[in-house]
Amino acid sequence: MPSGDVGQVLIAVLAYNESASIRDTLAEVSAAAPGASVVVVDDGSLDQTAPAARAQGAQVIRHPINLGVAAAEATGLRYALQRGCRAVIRMDGDGQHDPGAITRFVAAMDAGADMVVGSRYLERGGFQSTFMRRFGNGLLCKILALLCRQRFTDPTSGFRGFSGRALTFFAHQFPHDYPEPESLLWASRQGFRVVEVPVAMRSRQSGVSSLNPARSAYYMIKVCFALGLELLRPRAA
């Protein structure tokens, strides 16, 4: 199979109240990866996200209530495993993730990566977020470098790919609170090969982020604490 071929790859688009952007996002996904399967995980949206996604031709899995990003990602991974997909790429439905990078993720997995993270910091360009978020990201990078003995540049990125062993593992057990940084530590402890690929993030097409400065600081404190506690957990078999 040629490197970057999207055959048997599932694109899992996570969405919560994204009716204003989901159609455009799915149209971009179809154009960028015409051979891939697409599922929208609607995490209990209160708007018309699910009907809008179905109107675009996407398969939709809908949570009856909002369960959070970790649960939504786990649903996408389990769906991919049940369908026998060789890989899954998880992206957001708010327009921040550029589907043009999908083939880059697939190529990295074809080259042997178990898990691929799209980093906005490997190459300058695109939306770079606020100073406080970049500061927090840098702190997480330092903590994960110590814990994983590997350098990451964008540990909070939700634009990610799972292939082979990582897909099977994370479909059955997944961090409940902070899936992005915690799963990097989990992957490291399992001996998975994790790589980053450069991506250009965009600002949200619609809606408002749930992370204001106070919540961002609270998030950083909790995730650092969670990473420390994770070291006390026995390594999964």
Question: Which domain covers residue 54, as residue numbers?
Answer: 9-230
Is the pLDDT at 1 greater than 50, yes or no?
no
pTM confidence score:
0.84
pLDDT at 6: 76
Is the pLDDT at 4 greater than 80, yes or no?
no
67-76, 111-120, 153-162, 196-205: which range is least confident on average? 196-205
The vertex-67 CA angle with 34 and 159, nearest 5°, equals 35
Q: The domain spanning residue 213 has which CATH number?
A: 3.90.550.10
Residue 1 lies in a domain: no
> Could you identify the residue written with the tokens 């949206």?
45
Residue 236 lies in a domain: no
Is the pLDDT at 34 greater than 50, yes or no?
yes
Residue 4 lies in a domain: no
Residue 237 lies in a domain: no
Residue 149 lies in a domain: yes
Instruction: State mean pLDDT over 19-46.
Output: 96
pLDDT at 15: 97
Based on the structure, what is the number of domains in the chain? 1
Residues paired with 10 in a beta bridge: 37, 88
Rounded CA-CA distance 226/191 in Å is 20
